[in-house]
Amino acid sequence: MKRYLMTPGPTPVPEDVALYMAKPIVHHRTDEFKKVFDETKQLIKRLFKTENEIVMFASSGTGAMEAAVSNVLNEGEKAISINAGKFGERWGKLIRAFGGVNLELTYEYGDYAKVEDIKALIEKNPDVKAVYIQASETSTGTFHPIDEIGLMLKEKYPEVVFVVDGITAYGAIDVETDKWNIDIGITGSQKALMLPPGLSILSVSEKALKKIEKSNNRFYYFDILGELKAKWGNYTPAVSLVFGLNAAVKKILDEGLENVFKRHKLLAKATREAVKSLGLKLLSRRPADSLTAVYSPEGIDSSEIIKLMKSYGVEISNGQAHLKGKIFRIAHLGYFDKADILMVISVLEIALKKLNANGNFGEGIKRAMEILSE
């Protein structure tokens, strides 16, 4: 069975990047590695649109999220977390795990954070030290207005550290780290960066570093200052992934950052319009360009759709938590192009037809074709 991976991470690895990663392993305490390591950080800065320091951990994205909590918050310090999905919920868990006071703003899955809510909560709690949010909430395919939130914080509460999990955003959606006042921006290798999992990346501002310097929390492996002091990574870096990251970001910059964002915007639009033409409803009120979450038709378990699509080799994702069985998620971040969207939509249509749930047979793919031929 030929397989077509269309899940929101891991995502497909381009053949040239995979080959580059297969090159002989270089020892990590060598000038050869250091050169690539340093260059890769510079490349990441361009991708993140930041002048801030870059730190990489050999870990999944959650490792970087942990570092952004354990290094920043001290015991008893207050932080706001935005919980509008599975990954927002994780911020709260991390804050509590490291002794912080979690002021959680909860939104329905599919809804997005409101800047006024955050502002009001800080007004009531002027001792808030940090705000934790996702750029794109992967469990719902929602893009939070991190630009508005960042600019509000900059104007009203310049001391608050603004932490953005951009794991399904950086490299797919234009996230202007510095312009939007993002103190810590986070991503992982296995999303828009088109790599296997195993590498997490943070950008850290001067302001965040100052806060981190005063940390008295408990951590060892995820040590942001330690990584910055080390010449070439504090512990053994994921050498192959660093090489892969170097190749992948160069590939992105070769295509042109703005072209990459435009491509994601177009693929997202085609996907959204196609499913709407099939009479389906989007979950998100503010959809991200990196993945599309769609309600399963009335009375149909989304697992059935996913299973049928898998019988065509096409792998998409189910909902998480209480949305399991209720929605399905189609990814279009990273190594995806127009032809992939045409494929996934036509296979989706076939799956719906087999479930007697496609009254508009042919309309979804037609709409996608229209948009992608513009």
Considering the complex, state which of residue 100 and residue 297 has its C-beta at the smaller distance from a copy of itself.
Answer: 297
- Write out the binding residues for a copy of itself, residues 80-119 only, by CB under 8 A: none
| Integer Cα distance of 140 and 137 in angstroms | 6
What track of x and - describes contact with a copy of itself for positions 187 through 206 (by CB under 8 A)?
A: --------------------
* Type of residue at 36: V
Nearest alpha-carbon partner for 136 in 183, 91, 175: 175
- Spatial contact of 172 and 143, defined as CB atoms under 8 Å apart: no
Asked whether position 2 contacts a copy of itself by CB under 8 A, the answer is yes
Q: Which stretch binds a copy of itself (CB under 8 A): 60-68, 74-82, 142-150, 362-370?
A: 362-370
Among 1, 27, 220, 258, binds a copy of itself (CB under 8 A): 1
Asked whether position 235 contacts a copy of itself by CB under 8 A, the answer is no
Among 38, 51, 337, 359, binds a copy of itself (CB under 8 A): 337
Q: Which stretch binds a copy of itself (CB under 8 A): 138-146, 181-189, 214-222, 329-337?
A: 329-337
Asked whether position 225 contacts a copy of itself by CB under 8 A, the answer is no
Nearest alpha-carbon partner for 291 in 138, 86, 146: 138
Among 14, 99, 196, 197, binds a copy of itself (CB under 8 A): 14
Asked whether position 16 contacts a copy of itself by CB under 8 A, the answer is no
Applying CB under 8 A, the site for a copy of itself has a residue count of: 30
Nearest alpha-carbon partner for 51 in 166, 171, 185, 150: 185
Asked whether position 328 contacts a copy of itself by CB under 8 A, the answer is no
Considering the complex, state which of residue 62 and residue 360 has its C-beta at the smaller distance from a copy of itself.
Answer: 360
Considering the complex, state which of residue 114 and residue 262 has its C-beta at the smaller distance from a copy of itself.
Answer: 262
- Spatial contact of 290 and 268, defined as CB atoms under 8 Å apart: yes
- Write out the binding residues for a copy of itself, residues 290-319 only, by CB under 8 A: 312-314
Asked whether position 338 contacts a copy of itself by CB under 8 A, the answer is yes
Task: List beta partners, residue 111.
Answer: 109
CA-based radius of gyration for the chain:
21
Nearest alpha-carbon partner for 330 in 321, 322, 346: 346
Asked whether position 373 contacts a copy of itself by CB under 8 A, the answer is yes
At closest approach, how far in Å is the CB of 337 from a copy of itself?
4
Considering the complex, state which of residue 22 and residue 97 has its C-beta at the smaller distance from a copy of itself.
Answer: 22
Strands 200-204 and 53-57: antiparallel
What track of x and - describes contact with a copy of itself for positions 136 through 155 (by CB under 8 A)?
A: --------------------
Asked whether position 362 contacts a copy of itself by CB under 8 A, the answer is yes
- Spatial contact of 330 and 340, defined as CB atoms under 8 Å apart: no
Q: Which stretch binds a copy of itself (CB under 8 A): 143-151, 155-163, 212-220, 346-354?
A: 346-354
| Integer Cα distance of 47 and 257 in angstroms | 7
| Integer Cα distance of 17 and 106 in angstroms | 39
Considering the complex, state which of residue 151 and residue 355 has its C-beta at the smaller distance from a copy of itself.
Answer: 355
- Spatial contact of 52 and 205, defined as CB atoms under 8 Å apart: yes
3-state secondary structure of 353: helix
Nearest alpha-carbon partner for 356 in 304, 303, 281, 292: 304
Max CA distance (Å), the chain: 62
Strands 4-5 and 314-315: parallel
- Spatial contact of 285 and 142, defined as CB atoms under 8 Å apart: yes
Among 202, 271, 346, 357, binds a copy of itself (CB under 8 A): 346
Considering the complex, state which of residue 182 and residue 316 has its C-beta at the smaller distance from a copy of itself.
Answer: 316
Whether the ω angle into residue 10 lies within 30 degrees of 0, i.e. cis, is yes
HEC profile of 220-278: CCCCHHHHHHCCCCCCCCCHHHHHHHHHHHHHHHHHCHHHHHHHHHHHHHHHHHHHHHC
Asked whether position 340 contacts a copy of itself by CB under 8 A, the answer is yes
- Residues at the interface with a copy of itself (CB under 8 A): 1-2, 4, 14, 22, 312-314, 335-340, 342-343, 346-347, 349-350, 353-354, 361-362, 365-366, 368-369, 372-373
